[in-house]
């Protein structure tokens, strides 16, 4: 799919992208309640935060065989995408990263069983209007300003379609493998949040209450940081997971191992990476650290 050919200034086109993407998120046969579930055979291209890095996004799309020149056996490849918006490259103080989100929606529509768009804290904060300051920029306001500049009196219609797309996103992707299941998610609830967190959220549909700031389980999950070995092992037991692939936290070298069973990926900065995972023969978390692919190549 040639994402460069999409018309991202026409409000009718963009609204339809988000509405179709939302429908694809809900209707995909891989959807199970609040998560997607996939099984082997196949190759997963797992990514971390992208924050509107168009070059890196194009490279992970190509790696997943969904670009303009699909490779052999590309129909067995899967791709995770999350934390797509709120760029640090502004235009007169405006953030145009709605375009990255629209491209993602178009991909989901084109490959509903292979693209897995995971809910992340920046997308959720954008649609619920929660403030985030990143490098001194009020990113929600900057994003709104970009949408309003491009779409003028149609901006509210575009924003409503974005809201629909974000609220249709799954919380996680569960990869069922012969060596134990892997859970890909933007984050996990922090240690101090566990008392308010409902671990059953992965086995049911999301409700409006799940998105409530500092109370809802979806909100707690995408905002969590600072988990430790005891908490990770507790979630492994509760969810029947072997290990986790996450984002959200800073990984200076693109990937970071969190003992005993989590790998954090970053795909946005100059040392950003992606992780290919053979679903039939998955690596251990420590082996995965040696398998990440730099996006700067």
Q: In which residue ranges of the chain is pLDDT below 70?
A: 69-73
Q: 219: phi > 0 → left, psi -120 to 50 → alpha, else beta; which? A: alpha
Structural domains of the chain, count: 1
- pTM check: above 0.85: yes
Q: What is the pLDDT of residue 69?
A: 67
Per-residue pLDDT tens for 258-294? 999 999 999 999 999 999 999 999 999 999 999 999 9
DSSP 8-state symbol, 207: -
Per-residue pLDDT tens for 153-203? 999 999 999 999 999 999 999 999 999 999 999 999 988 888 899 999 999
The residue segments making up the domain with residue 274 are 3-294
Closest CA to 78 of 24, 41, 106: 41
Torsion of the alpha carbons at 198, 204, 209 and 214, rounded to the nearest 10: 30
Q: How far is residue 201 CA from its own chain's centroid?
A: 17
Question: With contact defined as beta carbons under 8 Å apart, do 108 and 25 qualify?
Answer: yes
Find the CATH number of the domain harbouring 187: 3.60.21.10
**Euclidean distance between CA atoms 47 and 72, whole angstroms:** 21
Closest CA to 80 of 169, 190, 188, 194: 169
Torsion of the alpha carbons at 283, 288, 291 and 295, rounded to the nearest 10: 130
**Euclidean distance between CA atoms 261 and 165, whole angstroms:** 31
Q: What is the pLDDT of residue 71?
A: 62
């Amino acid at each position: 799919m040639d994402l460069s050919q999409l018309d991202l200034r026409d409000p009718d086109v963009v609204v339809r992208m988000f509405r179709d993407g939302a429908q694809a998120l809900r209707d995909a046969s891989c959807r199970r309640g609040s998560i997607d579930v996939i099984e082997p055979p196949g190759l997963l291209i797992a990514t971390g935060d992208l924050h509107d890095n168009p070059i890196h996004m194009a490279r992970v799309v190509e790696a997943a065989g969904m670009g303009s020149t699909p490779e052999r056996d590309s129909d067995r490849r899967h791709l995770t995408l999350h934390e797509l918006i709120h760029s640090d490259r502004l235009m007169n103080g405006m953030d145009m990263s709605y375009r990255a989100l629209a491209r993602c929606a178009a991909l989901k529509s084109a490959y509903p069983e292979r693209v897995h768009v995971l809910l992340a804290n920046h997308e959720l904060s954008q649609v619920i209007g929660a403030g985030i300051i990143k490098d001194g920029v009020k990113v929600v306001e900057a994003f709104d300003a970009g949408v309003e500049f491009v779409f003028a009196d149609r901006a509210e219609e575009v924003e409503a379609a974005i809201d629909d797309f974000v609220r249709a996103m799954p919380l996680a992707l569960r990869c069922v493998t012969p060596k134990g299941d892997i859970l890909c998610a933007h984050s996990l609830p922090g240690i101090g949040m566990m008392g308010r967190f409902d671990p059953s959220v992965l086995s049911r549909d999301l409700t409006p209450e799940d998105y409530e700031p500092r109370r809802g389980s979806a909100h707690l999950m995408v905002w969590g940081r600072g988990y430790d070995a005891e908490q990770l092992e507790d979630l492994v037991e509760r969810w029947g997971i072997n290990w986790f692939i996450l984002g959200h936290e800073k990984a200076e070298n693109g990937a970071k191992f969190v003992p005993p069973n989590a790998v954090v990926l970053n795909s946005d900065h100059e040392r950003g990476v992606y992780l290919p995972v053979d679903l039939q023969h998955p690596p251990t978390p420590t082996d995965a650290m040696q398998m990440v692919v730099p996006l700067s190549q």
